[in-house]
Amino acid sequence: MPFTFARLTALPDCVLIRTARHGDDRGWFAETYKKSTLASAGIHAEFRQDNHSFSARVGTLRGLHFQIAPAAQGKLVRVLSGEVFDVVVDLRDGPAFGRWASVKLAAADSTMLWIPEGFAHGFQTVVSDTAVTYKTTAEYSPEHERGIRWDDPELAIPWPIADPILSERDRTWPSLSRALQTR
């Protein structure tokens, strides 16, 4: 089987995916996306855009980002080089609202994360020279973009590096409760 799937305990709609590598003395080969295999695990997505970010320094934090309807995004996140502490926050109405989960995603172990629509997403690099790519189910739409403060006390996420490197935009997102007033 080229993929194995594990649902996140705290947020079972988010799925950790590990791809199998087939190697020899030249290196290795892995399938990184196969629609039918993901569908067999309940992941039905039509991707509209691919994104690629590179972070040169340890501690770079990107997030917590989301888009509201009609441009809400599901994401399939993969680390091409390096490693990240990846976080998802459930923003859907229901008993899991405001619950978050984190996973390690690393190029070395070929892990990916499926994040359906209705979640905020962010990550922090834990090694230098980290490249992350992700497929999205909707195109980027500035008018639908929102975010949540990375250090919102309501969430109390234990980021591995306490003094992150942030963009000005990520530094000024509102708290969870204030961010959702604008959805």
Residues belonging to the active site: 65, 134
Contact 131, 25 (CB under 8 A): no
DSSP codes, the chain: --EEEEE-SS-TTSEEEEE--EEETTEEE-----HHHHHHTT------EEEEEEE-STTBEEEEEEE-TTS---EEEEEEESEEEEEEEE-SSSTTTT-EEEEEEEGGGTEEEEE-TTEEEEEEESSSSEEEEEEESS---GGGEEE--TT-TTT----SSSS-B--HHHHT---HHHHGGG-
CA 95 to chain centre: 21
